[in-house]
Amino acid sequence: MQWWREAVVYQVYVRSFSDADGDGVGDLDGIRSRLGYLELLGVDAIWLTPFYTSPMADHGYDVADPRDVDPVFGDLAAFDTLVEATHEHGLKLVVDLVPNHTSSEHEWFRAALDAAPGSPERARYHFRAGRRPDGAQPPNNWTSVFGGPAWTRVHAADGEPGEWYLHLFSAEQPDLNWTNPEVWADLEKTLRFWLDRGVDGFRIDVAHGMSKPDGLPDSMAATRSGLLPGGRDGDPRFDHDDVHDVHRMIRAVLDHYPGRMAVGEVSVRDDARFARYLRPDELHLGFNFRLLRAPFEAAAVRDAVEHSLASVAGVAATPTWAIAGHDVSRPVTRYGGGELGTARARAMALVTLALPGTVFVYNGEELGLPDVDLPDEALQDPVWERSGHTERGRDAFRVPMPWEGGAPGYGFTEGVPWLPMPPEYGELTVAEQLEDTASTLSLVRRAVELRRRHPGFTGTELEWFGAPVGCLAFRRAGTTLVCALNTSDQAVALPPGDVLLTSGPLDDGLLPPDTAAWLA
Ligand code: GLC
């Protein structure tokens, strides 16, 4: 049963979703207490960001033990209870997997630091001597995605400088050496560990990472930093051909467990190279960044949709869609902020939910939350330090969910939230929005419900209609379901059909700017 093919998957940023024990950080018991809400929202599955043992240098994407739960989030018993409760609510549970790197606190890395150059302990990572006779220059010119060099030099107990190790992200996230069989065996063990506990799938972090070219050559492209640059193609740090063998191994394990899936974070722009990750013996789904990068302009949105469809056309996979996530500015802010940004984010929610394939919704997106302007002293993302305080990082779009009531915790926590929650959250809480039929939450609920029940949401192909400049309209092929979007500054006529749902009020029967409509 390929439940993921038309699913709406809700991304839970575990730290920021719901805190049951009052320490100000979200946890597994908190998620369990909100499953009723997710059922009401109508989503099919939830994806949990990493909750494994971690010193939290990158808030859990630095994993010290991939087969245990960090105490701040709970324990394995809480996880087992959560899996069971999730299934009782009719939802699937997908967990994150971080195979490109470990934490520098992982026992393997600590052993590597204690061991000598050339030792088997160091061979699980990428240790190299530095350049220049004194070894004082990094082994190559690669930069970290989070800023600064991708190499850090280690020192012996007596302070004597030694080798360098590779980290494509923060220095606390050393890259694993994927030519080492121990690394493969350990990932397989991790996969089975969670599959045996009942998870329905994995979201694979940096699925275009892992493998590195022989000799780790210098590169021009690698000197760019940033999590979502214009494109990484031609960049030796990512999308190396050998990575496909890793995905084949993962798939071979998953194939022993019916109904489980893997979705990779595949940040590869070229459609043909993207499609390679979705061959029948690799990933089931590729997380797609095109809509996340597209501005609010009909032509750009259409281009993103067409490329996404093209990139899966030759393989059996369905496309994926997202306008939000824990690494990008929230749609309300990205599209212009305030009422304008909210109107546009609502319109884009209708566009994504009309598309064939798998839709990802990031927690708080359904509430129309904006980014939060955080004071410098509140910032925790490693990007802030590594960029020398020139980039503020991702905390602004990771502020905890407002559930009900007022400051400081808005029902998220009875303690002090790990990032400050702003006063404007009072009007955006789940409780407020559930009462208001015009709220963004009510719109998203209705759209998810129609997507599930209306017969127009079938098939995998789209037909584009001619549309005025700045507008787009498509039909799900073989059905009567039409989605129209107006990104121009004039109201336009609607395509023929009965209006099913609009993202904002119509203007005398016309589709106003910054608005989308579904018709049938
Ligand atoms: C992915 C994650 C991001 C994380 C990085 C390193 O891009 O989405 O949050 O920082 O990988 O693991």
CA of 49 to the centre of ligand 1 (A): 10
CA distance 69 to 31: 14
Element (H, E) at 421: none
Closest by CA position to 112, among listed 99, 127, 91, 128: 127
User: What's residue 228's pLDDT?
Assistant: 39
SS3 498: coil
CA of 58 to the centre of ligand 1 (A): 8
The CATH number linked to 146 is: 3.90.400.10
CA of 482 to the centre of ligand 1 (A): 35
* Residue numbers annotated as active site: 205, 265
235 and 323 inside one domain: yes
114 and 141 inside one domain: yes
Q: Which atom of ligand 1 is nearest to the CA of 169?
A: 6
Strands 482-486 and 515-519: antiparallel
**Protein residue with least CA distance to atom 4, ligand 1:** 61
Q: Is the CB–ligand 1 distance for residue 397 below 6 Å?
A: no
Q: Is the CB–ligand 1 distance for residue 169 below 6 Å?
A: yes
Q: Is the CB–ligand 1 distance for residue 205 below 6 Å?
A: yes
Q: Residues 421, 182: contact at Cβ < 8 Å?
A: no
307 and 366 inside one domain: yes
**Protein residue with least CA distance to atom 2, ligand 1:** 205
CA of 47 to the centre of ligand 1 (A): 14
CA distances from 133 to 136, 138, 216, 329, 374 (A): 8, 12, 19, 44, 45
239 and 295 inside one domain: yes
Q: Is the CB–ligand 1 distance for residue 175 below 6 Å?
A: no
CA of 206 to the centre of ligand 1 (A): 7
CA distance 417 to 153: 36
Six-digit token pair at 334?
């990205």
Six-digit token pair at 520?
């049938």
In a domain, 151, yes or no: yes
Q: Last residue of some domain: 382, 401, 434? A: 434
Q: Which residue has the tokens 């749902």?
A: 501
The string of pLDDT tens digits covering residues 458-496 is 988 999 999 999 999 999 999 999 999 999 999 999 999
Closest by CA position to 106, among listed 216, 226, 190, 193: 190
CA of 458 to the centre of ligand 1 (A): 33
Instruction: Give CA torsion, residues 311, 313, 316, 318, to 10 deg.
Output: 70
Contacts of 409 (CB under 8 A, 6+ apart): 19, 24, 415, 416, 417, 421
CA distance 172 to 166: 10
The domain of 501 spans 459-519
**Protein residue with least CA distance to atom 12, ligand 1:** 61
Q: Is the CB–ligand 1 distance for residue 191 below 6 Å?
A: no
Q: Is the CB–ligand 1 distance for residue 238 below 6 Å?
A: no
CA distance 458 to 418: 42
Angle between helices 440-453 and 338-354 (to 10 degrees): 10
In a domain, 93, yes or no: yes
In a domain, 447, yes or no: no
186 and 235 inside one domain: yes
Contacts of 491 (CB under 8 A, 6+ apart): 507, 508, 510, 511, 512, 513
Q: Is the CB–ligand 1 distance for residue 327 below 6 Å?
A: yes
pTM score? 0.96
User: What's residue 223's pLDDT?
Assistant: 52
User: What's residue 321's pLDDT?
Assistant: 98
- The ranges of the chain with pLDDT < 50 are 222, 227-233
CA distances from 271 to 268, 290, 304, 515 (A): 8, 11, 11, 29
The string of pLDDT tens digits covering residues 253-289 is 999 999 999 999 999 989 999 999 999 999 999 998 9
189 and 135 inside one domain: no
In a domain, 448, yes or no: no
User: What's residue 230's pLDDT?
Assistant: 35
In a domain, 414, yes or no: yes
Q: Is the CB–ligand 1 distance for residue 58 below 6 Å?
A: yes
The CATH number linked to 208 is: 3.20.20.80
Q: Is the CB–ligand 1 distance for residue 206 below 6 Å?
A: yes
The string of pLDDT tens digits covering residues 222-234 is 455 554 333 344 6
- 28: Cα within 13 Å, side-chain hemisphere: 24
In a domain, 48, yes or no: yes
Q: How many domains does the chain have?
A: 3
CA distance 322 to 355: 11
User: What's residue 224's pLDDT?
Assistant: 53
**Protein residue with least CA distance to atom 9, ligand 1:** 327
374 and 494 inside one domain: no
Q: What is the percent of the chain where pLDDT is above 70?
A: 97
189 and 290 inside one domain: yes
| DSSP H helices in 315-368 | 331-334, 338-354
Closest by CA position to 352, among listed 447, 287, 227: 447
140 and 268 inside one domain: no
Question: Is residue 258 reached through a cis peptide bond, with omega within 30 degrees of 0 on the bond before it?
Answer: no
Closest by CA position to 183, among listed 56, 66, 80: 66
Contacts of 194 (CB under 8 A, 6+ apart): 67, 95, 202
The CATH number linked to 471 is: 2.60.40.1180
In a domain, 453, yes or no: no
151 and 68 inside one domain: no
In a domain, 262, yes or no: yes
116 and 96 inside one domain: no
Q: Which atom of ligand 1 is nearest to the CA of 61?
A: 12
CA of 63 to the centre of ligand 1 (A): 12
Substitution candidate for ligand 1 out of 205, 232, 385, 395 with most atoms within 8 A of CB: 205
User: What's residue 234's pLDDT?
Assistant: 67
Contacts of 110 (CB under 8 A, 6+ apart): 104
Q: Which atom of ligand 1 is nearest to the CA of 100?
A: 12
Q: Which atom of ligand 1 is nearest to the CA of 146?
A: 10
272 and 136 inside one domain: no
Give residue 261's identity as a one-letter amino acid code.
Answer: M
